[in-house]
Chain A
Amino acid sequence: MKNLRMKSARAAKDLSQEQLAEICNVSRQTISAIEKGDYNPTIKLCLAICKALDKTLDELFWE
């Protein structure tokens, strides 16, 4: 399932996938896969994304 909340949070922060990937120290493809719902990130990466986007885990990843 697509993670549209993460995509919109990233867009609201005016960050590209590349920039978010750099902040979280992962590849752009990983961010793309998470947004598309192709990959379930570990809690460590979820936290890094939440910190980068100033959101809570619930806001971005809770169904």
Chain B
Amino acid sequence: MKNVFILILLLCVAMPMVIIFYALSKNNKHDYDEMQELARGKAGKLAFLITMSLCGAYYLYDLFAGDSLLRLSGSTLALLVFGVGLAVFSSYCIMHDAYFYVGTKDGLKSSCKINIFICIICFVSLAMCSPKDFFEIKNGIIGLSGVSCFTPFILSIYVIDTITFFLKIRQEQVLESLEE
């Protein structure tokens, strides 16, 4: 019954969201320039290589030490790989000026502020829960427990992005002072 409810919820909420995002992206007049496209391509390649390496490393770990140590459940591993890939892609794009569309004014600072705000919200929600709300260990397998398990992953991605924003802002300040 619970699964049916989740399925209905997904159909009612996720499907209209996908349609709306698709319609919005069709009308989106913003674009990346050629250098940004190149950087985004490289970022995608790097993210792919890192996630594949991560999967390979986990496979070896599972093969040699999985029986004596803890294993990750399929969903935890998928979420971990997705999070790492996203963090690598966004960090690379931020550092190579390919994160914002052409003509975005003051994107770095405003995005940094939004990221800090989201980090604070995630920290608060994290502090209100215990580790058991996020992960559970059953038969030597680390699995996800409940919807709140996404919070640590979201927080990690936003923390990495915020740090990258700070580094990029600092880099730009240094370059500007050197040019002067």
Chain A residues in contact with chain B, CB under 8 A?
21-22, 25-27, 29-30, 33, 39, 41-42, 44-45
Contacts and interface: CB of A to CB of B under 8 A. Distances in A.
A34 to B, nearest CB: 8
B36 A30 contact: yes
Instruction: Report which residue of B35, B100, B102 has the largest number of chain A beta carbons within 10 angstroms of its beta carbon.
Output: B35
A25 B33 contact: yes
Interface class of chain B by DSSP = loop
A26 B97 contact: no
A19 to B, nearest CB: 12
B35 A29 contact: yes
Interface residues of B, number: 8
Nearest to A29: B97
Given A22-B103, A27-B36, A29-B35, 7 more contacts: A25-B102, A26-B35, A27-B33, A27-B97, A27-B102, A41-B34, A42-B34
Contacts of A25: 33, 102
Interface of B: 33-36, 97, 100, 102-103
A44 B34 CA distance: 10
B33 A30 contact: yes
Nearest to B32: A27
B103 A30 contact: no
A36 to B, nearest CB: 10
Contacts of A30: 33-36, 97
B97 A45 contact: no
A25 B34 CA distance: 10
A39 B35 contact: yes
